[in-house]
């Protein structure tokens, strides 16, 4: 065989290698073309065993860039970065929530995962949406407590399209691209609050309701269930229009003072948000002496515990943080695993947890 023939064979071999396609590698490795693309371009993490299978298939087919794929392989085992966008940095509940999330990530990843927790105090929807995009792009997956608003849902959809799964926490969102929502049963929560007001209040009168915002789905469902239960079971109690307190202590305090002044027949209060209960309690202690007013609120913070003990608060409905954070981290990690395996994500799945109830007798 002369030199020209050897050169011709070499050119043919190179041409054959150049024709190796992603579908051919995917078929040989028994994975999807999307998984091969991730291994080739490091778009998303892929399990080491799956990546090695793709590389071996590509090598057997004579793919020209196998050495580059192998160089990228060590980075495949990088720790997962899970983001959590919470609200109200100063809130004892959200501080406890953040710590429980960090511990859950540590536990579920055996120390190889990273929890990135950020707080949003500005409840303006555009600001929340921008925060979600910025945080989500730093992480492999994201869980968020947020208003249900087009700006927020647009950010969720964009992150999903970019390969960053998003999970709603505590209160659901409308974005079809969300993984789902991890929360308690908000309808049961509202009806339980109504049961307490009905059973503990004396005589007829009016009942006040607070929400943090009309844009929180969880609070909206709880408020509707609260009203429906009292409308059904307590026609002698009239529920007033809901008041927004933005889960702000001072706003809740001033709103409660107004309710007390305008409604001498006020017999019950339900704070469906939880963040403003400290202000509500302060107003009741100052201005409701001698009046019997039932108060139901959410989350067993240190201040709420004191309110239960001294009788200002009658019932606290608590989100089970350990179960909530374990479920959250598990769902996020499972979603990332599906992406690594080239599987489609299962979206809009509810993960409903039982809540806890506290009175002065069990705190």
Helix residue ranges per DSSP H, the chain = 3-18, 22-29, 33-41, 48-61, 66-72, 92-109, 125-136, 150-161, 186-200, 217-233, 249-262, 277-287, 302-310, 321-340
Single residue among 53, 77, 101 that ends a domain in this structure: 77
Cβ contact 120:106 at 8 Å: no
In order along the chain (363 residues), what is the average pLDDT of each group of 10 residues?
44 50 87 83 68 82 74 60 95 96 94 94 91 96 97 98 97 98 98 98 96 96 98 97 94 97 97 92 93 96 96 97 97 94 93 98 95
Radius of gyration of the chain (CA): 27
231, 286: one domain: yes
Buried (b) or exposed (e) across 24-46, using 16+ Cβ within 10 A? bbbebbebbebbbbbbbeeebbb
Which residue from 284, 293, 122 is spatially nearest to 213, judged by alpha carbons? 122
At residue 63, φ and ψ (nearest 5 deg) are: -65, 135
223, 252: one domain: yes
Instruction: Evaluate whether residue 227 is within a structural domain.
Output: yes
Cβ contacts of 296 within 8 Å, gap of 6 or more: 193, 196, 197, 268, 269, 270, 271, 313, 314, 315, 316, 317
201, 98: one domain: no
314, 325: one domain: no
Segments forming the whole domain that contains residue 140: 81-182+321-352
143, 109: one domain: yes
Instruction: Evaluate whether residue 360 is within a structural domain.
Output: no
Instruction: Evaluate whether residue 361 is within a structural domain.
Output: no
204, 91: one domain: no
Which residue from 357, 340, 315, 289 is spatially nearest to 50, judged by alpha carbons? 340
Instruction: Evaluate whether residue 363 is within a structural domain.
Output: no
67, 102: one domain: no
pLDDT of residue 43: 62
325, 178: one domain: yes
Structure-block tokens of residue 187: 């309808």
Single residue among 77, 112, 140 that ends a domain in this structure: 77
Instruction: Evaluate whether residue 362 is within a structural domain.
Output: no
Give CA–CA dist 23/363, Å, rounded. Answer: 61
173, 265: one domain: no
| Residue whose entry in the numeric block shows the structure tokens 């608590």 | 318
**Secondary structure (DSSP) of 30-55:** TS-HHHHHHHHHT-S---HHHHHHHH
Instruction: Evaluate whether residue 275 is within a structural domain.
Output: yes
Single residue among 47, 77, 107 that ends a domain in this structure: 77
Maximum distance among all Cα pairs of the chain, rounded to whole angstroms = 111
Instruction: Evaluate whether residue 359 is within a structural domain.
Output: no
195, 293: one domain: yes
Instruction: Evaluate whether residue 72 is within a structural domain.
Output: yes
At residue 2, φ and ψ (nearest 5 deg) are: -85, 175
pLDDT of residue 51: 79
Give CA–CA dist 157/175, Å, rounded. Answer: 7
- Length reported for the chain: 363
Domain count, the chain: 3
Which pTM was predicted? Answer: 0.79
96, 171: one domain: yes
CATH number of the domain where residue 126 is located: 3.40.50.2300
- Burial group, residue 157, by CB count within 10 angstroms (0-12, 13-18, 19+): middle
CATH number of the domain where residue 45 is located: 1.10.260
Please name every residue paired with 191 in a beta bridge, in sequence order, or none if there are none: none
205, 287: one domain: yes
Cβ contacts of 339 within 8 Å, gap of 6 or more: 44, 45, 163, 165, 345
């Amino acid at each position: 065989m002369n030199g020209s023939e050897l050169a011709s064979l070499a050119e043919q071999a190179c041409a054959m290698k150049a024709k190796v396609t992603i579908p051919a590698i995917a078929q040989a490795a028994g994975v999807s073309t999307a998984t091969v693309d991730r291994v080739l371009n490091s778009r998303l993490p892929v399990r080491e065993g799956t990546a090695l299978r793709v590389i071996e298939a590509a090598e057997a087919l004579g793919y020209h860039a196998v050495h580059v794929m192998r160089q990228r392989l060590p980075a495949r085992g990088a720790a997962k970065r899970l983001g959590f966008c919470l609200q109200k940095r100063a809130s004892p509940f959200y501080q406890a929530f953040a710590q429980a999330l960090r511990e859950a990530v540590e536990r579920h990843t055996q120390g190889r995962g990273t929890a990135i927790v950020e707080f949003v105090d500005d409840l303006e929807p555009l600001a929340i949406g921008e925060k979600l995009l910025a945080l989500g792009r730093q992480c492999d997956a994201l869980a968020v407590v947020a208003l249900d608003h087009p700006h927020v849902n647009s950010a969720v959809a964009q992150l999903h399209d970019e390969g960053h799964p998003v999970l709603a926490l505590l209160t659901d969102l409308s974005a079809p691209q969300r993984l789902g929502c991890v929360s308690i049963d908000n309808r049961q929560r509202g009806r339980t609050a109504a049961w307490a007001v009905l059973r503990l209040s004396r005589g007829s009168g009016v009942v006040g309701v607070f929400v943090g915002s009309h844009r929180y789905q969880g609070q909206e469902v709880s408020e509707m269930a609260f009203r429906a239960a009292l409308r059904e079971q307590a026609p002698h109690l009239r529920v007033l229009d809901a008041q927004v307190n933005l889960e702000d202590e001072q706003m809740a305090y001033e709103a409660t003072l107004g309710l007390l002044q305008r409604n001498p027949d006020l017999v019950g209060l339900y704070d469906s948000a939880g963040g403003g209960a400290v202000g509500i309690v302060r107003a009741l202690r100052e201005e409701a002496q001698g009046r019997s007013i039932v108060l139901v609120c959410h989350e067993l913070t240190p201040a709420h515990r004191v309110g239960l003990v001294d009788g200002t608060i009658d019932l606290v409905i608590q989100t089970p943080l350990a179960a909530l954070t374990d479920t959250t981290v598990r769902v996020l990690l499972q979603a990332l695993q599906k992406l690594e395996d080239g599987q489609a994500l299962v979206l809009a799945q509810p993960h409903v947890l039982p809540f806890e109830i506290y009175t002065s007798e069990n705190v």
